[in-house]
Amino acid sequence: MPRFTVRNAVIAVNILLLTALFVHLKNELWDKHSPTADLGGPSHIPDELLDDYQTAATSHVDSGKTLKVNSGVESRRTAVVVASQASENATWLHQYFPDWEKNIYRVDDANAPLTVPKNKGRESMVYLTYIIDHYDALPDNVLFIHPNRYQWHNDDPDYDGLPMLRHFQIPYLEKEGYVNIRCAWPLGCPNEIKPLEEAGEHREAVHAGGDYKMAFQQLFPGVKVPESVGVSCCAQFAATREKIRERKKSDYIRYRDWIVETKLDDSISGRVLEYSWHMIFGKKPVHCPSAKECYCKVFGLCKLDCGDAGSCEGRYTLPRYSSLPVGWPFIGWEGEDRQRAAPEE
């Protein structure tokens, strides 16, 4: 038995320290280079991820560099901005588009999580408020839409927004910058508004032509008033961050100030913006691609039979009334049972 002496105690402590150092070095320099060495390791990780694991496991070697896992697979942010009233229902967007960021504004509820400074100008107030408030941190793609799943103007044989949005081609949007989410020409194309012919006219809820000319001069100072303006109706469209930011934030503030201050009825001021978005985002005053080209590029529907420039077989027909029957699409216009005209997919 060695006696307990100071000398022996110092030797024992040194042996312990050296053992600890050895274990530490083995762990740092050997084990971490060999991902299968430990039982908790990545034996269950599929091969394609193994490289990433190894990169991560050895990253202490050059910890000064940013680690790039999944390099090349960038996730793109897509948001929907919805101009809703308290009576409307946008829950289907949560159900079917879980990956999209939802911005559901309630224009007529001051206590809603998202609302507008003033309920004026219909959906345009919502769209502009969103752009102004998010100008410096916009997602990659923004879809500006109305809340209800079934709406008379949705470009679908059942007026169903679900297949419409499912088919919407985000890569085409990213190429174009701005895309109208509707192809059928009635209403809006080929030249809904003739600002010069109708100058001075004020017809509530009809063309807005005369009011449009005056409004255009205020919204786009220094730009020549176009002879005709056309875009497929109803103010549902998408834009990329880059396209939105081609205009200064102060432009969007000016448009919103115009809405707040105008004495025009909402039906007219909303309509002025409805027929301005495409120009705000860089398109010509008449932006009416043929329905055939549009359905193919915007919705990926490239095999349609299209008789004329403005419509394709089996796609969109103007409904009888703007309110769909309760129970649509399974109850028809006369209260009769109805089958869907096209799948939800």
Ligand X SMILES: *[C@@H]1O[C@H](CO)[C@@H](O)[C@H](O)[C@H]1NC(C)=O
* Residue number, nearest CB to ligand X: 89
Beta bridge partners of 102: 80
Looking at 84-92, 189-197, 229-237, 239-247, which segment touches ligand X (CB under 6 A)? 84-92
Please answer whether residues 123 and 270 qualify as being in contact, where contact means their C-beta atoms are separated by less than 8 angstroms.
yes
Residues counted in the chain: 345
User: Min. distance of Cβ 90 from ligand X in angstroms?
Assistant: 8
Measuring CA to CA, how many Å separate 214 from each of 28, 263, 272?
74, 12, 10
Return the range that interacts with ligand X (CB under 6 A); candidates 85-93, 186-194, 196-204, 315-323: 85-93
The helix/strand/coil state of 153 is: coil
Task: Output the CA–CA distances (angstroms, integers) from residue 91 to 82, 200, 244, 328, in the order listed.
Answer: 11, 43, 27, 17
Q: Which amino acid is present at 76?
A: R
Q: With CB under 6 A, what is the number of residues at the site for ligand X? A: 3
Binding track over 92-131 against ligand X, x by CB under 6 A:
x---------------------------------------
Least distance (Å) from ligand X to the CB of residue 94?
A: 9
Sole binder of ligand X in the list 14, 34, 89, 323 (CB under 6 A) = 89
Which of 186/343 has CB closer to ligand X?
Answer: 343
Which DSSP string corresponds to 81-148? EEEE-TT---HHHHHH-TTSEEEEEETT-TTSSS--SS--STHHHHHHHHHHHHGGG--SEEEEE-S-
Q: Which stretch binds ligand X (CB under 6 A): 88-96, 160-168, 196-204, 300-308?
A: 88-96
344 is a site residue for ligand X (CB under 6 A): no
Applying CB under 6 A, among 14, 34, 91, 317 the residue interacting with ligand X is 91
- Give 29's DSSP letter: I
We find the least distance from the C-beta atom of residue 93 to ligand X, in angstroms, to be: 9
Residues that bind ligand X (CB under 6 A): 89, 91-92
